[in-house]
């Protein structure tokens, strides 16, 4: 079975709102074992909506629409579906009664605006999907062996209607396979370098499929298998995941979708170790990520944002002569920051970051994006030099990721 999404709304094309509906629907369809090959976003324009729906119906078994079911003139979904399927719009008395009851309950007798009556007109032969969170009923229309399902654009209404009405319809109507996905997460390696390590596996993929993805400082490989039952899909994934893990163990931090900070937290807790951080250019980003994990107070004792030279000296005990001789952005200063925060907080590990996030402040000797990260531990102090590129925000994010990566390596 092949599904297609048509998301309607000019506000989406203008970037005024983020399209969370498509993400929700794509995830739920995947979980249900339904193929999704196409997604279109179209504005509130009659010709373009009709054209998009016609194309979708020509190639997909079910077209799922989100948006355009409101009561105003630019809500065109009902009429467009009627036009594409060559059916008249007819008043559904049950839908009208439900809309009227909604307004009576909320606002009192006789308070329904006249244009809300429009929402009760549906393409002839359509089956209503009740809206438990709003006024606009959705509908399912079967046509020439295919189906169109129209859902509201308001996310809370759309999600409730999908779960309550459309999902049971899909489960009853179509034979489905189970789709199981497993994500392997990596850090300290780029997407292209990771791909080289598993190039032959990717080239020979069939079931499961193997696909690498990159984000800020982290990479994942997604394994997706299809089978009649979940345990069969898991059995298909397991040997491939095991082979990838054996080749990439140096960089693999999770096989279950955990974040790097979650894995670090589990390591610290299981080892009975504690952590403190000192941040300059990242402005608290590492501490923020660490403390996003529930229970992090068990192992994260203290964080310093030492943005100025004076703060590095007074709060962490960095030697003033070190900064004068080598500068705030130097391996020497990073080392003293890490050792100082570990000493001050009385922790097992101290992490420190100092760098130039830009866009100004760089020199030929110390360009924008130069960052030093240090990890002080009971046995040693390590300093890494990084040269990041990108915007100020990207450099900060990449620096924080690199600091967490260094800590993860130290914990291992």
Tokens matching residue 151: 């859902």
Are 192 and 138 members of one domain?
Answer: no
Domain edge (last residue) among 254, 277, 299:
254
Are 164 and 197 members of one domain?
Answer: no
Domain edge (last residue) among 173, 190, 210:
173
In tens, the pLDDT along 120-143 reads 999 999 999 999 998 889 999 999
Share of the chain above pLDDT 90, in %: 85
Give residue 82's pLDDT.
97
In tens, the pLDDT along 352-382 reads 999 999 999 999 999 999 999 999 999 899 9
Are 221 and 284 members of one domain?
Answer: no
Domain hosting 207: range is 178-254
Are 392 and 269 members of one domain?
Answer: yes
Are 31 and 163 members of one domain?
Answer: yes
Are 221 and 362 members of one domain?
Answer: no
Are 237 and 306 members of one domain?
Answer: no
Residue 20 has pLDDT above 90, yes or no: yes
Give residue 171's pLDDT.
86
Q: What is the total count of domains within the chain?
A: 3
Are 188 and 318 members of one domain?
Answer: no
Are 309 and 230 members of one domain?
Answer: no
Are 320 and 346 members of one domain?
Answer: yes
Domain edge (last residue) among 254, 289, 315:
254
Question: For position 213, which CATH number holds?
Answer: 3.30.70.2860
In tens, the pLDDT along 176-226 reads 678 889 999 999 998 899 999 999 999 998 899 999 988 767 899 999 998
- Is the pTM higher than 0.85? The answer reads no
Question: For position 367, which CATH number holds?
Answer: 3.90.950.20
């Amino acid at each position: 079975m092949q599904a297609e999404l048509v998301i309607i709304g000019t506000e989406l094309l203008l970037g005024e709102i983020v399209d969370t509906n498509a993400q929700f629907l794509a995830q739920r369809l995947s979980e249900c074992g339904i193929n999704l090959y196409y997604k279109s976003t179209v504005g509130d324009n009659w010709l373009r909506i009709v054209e998009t729906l016609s194309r979708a119906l020509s190639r997909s078994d079910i077209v799922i629409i989100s948006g355009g079911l409101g009561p105003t003139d630019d809500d065109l979904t009902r009429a467009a579906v009627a036009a594409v399927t060559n059916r008249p719009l007819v008043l559904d008395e049950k839908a009208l009664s439900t809309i009227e009851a909604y307004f009576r309950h909320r606002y009192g007798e006789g308070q329904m605006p006249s244009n809300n009556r429009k929402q009760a007109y549906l393409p002839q032969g359509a089956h209503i999907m009740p809206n438990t969170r709003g006024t606009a009923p959705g509908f399912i229309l079967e046509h020439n062996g295919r189906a169109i399902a129209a859902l509201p654009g308001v996310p809370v209404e759309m999600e409730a209607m999908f779960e309550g009405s459309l999902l049971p319809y899909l489960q009853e109507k179509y034979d489905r396979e189970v789709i199981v996905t497993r994500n392997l997460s990596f850090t300290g390696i780029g997407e292209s370098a990771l791909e080289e390590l598993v190039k032959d596996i990717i080239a020979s993929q069939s079931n499961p499929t193997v696909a690498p993805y990159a984000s800020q400082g982290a990479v994942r490989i997604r394994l997706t298998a299809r089978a009649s039952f979940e345990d069969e899909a898991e059995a298909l994934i397991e040997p491939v995941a095991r082979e990838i893990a054996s080749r990439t163990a140096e960089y693999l931090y999770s096989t279950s979708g955990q974040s790097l900070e979650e894995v670090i937290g589990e390591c610290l807790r299981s080892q009975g170790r504690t952590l403190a951080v000192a941040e300059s250019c990242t402005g608290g980003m590492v501490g923020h990520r660490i403390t996003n994990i529930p229970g992090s107070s068990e192992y994260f004792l203290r964080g310093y944002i030492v943005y100025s030279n004076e703060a590095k000296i007074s709060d962490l005990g960095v030697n003033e002569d070190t900064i004068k001789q080598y500068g705030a952005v130097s391996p020497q200063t990073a080392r003293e920051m890490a050792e100082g925060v570990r000493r001050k907080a009385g922790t097992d590990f101290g992490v420190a970051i100092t760098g130039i996030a830009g866009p100004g402040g760089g020199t030929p000797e110390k360009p924008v994006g130069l960052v030093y990260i240090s990890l002080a531990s009971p046995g040693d102090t390590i300093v890494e030099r990084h040269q990041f590129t990108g915007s100020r925000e990207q450099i900060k994010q990449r620096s924080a990721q690199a600091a967490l990566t260094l800590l993860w390596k130290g914990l291992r």
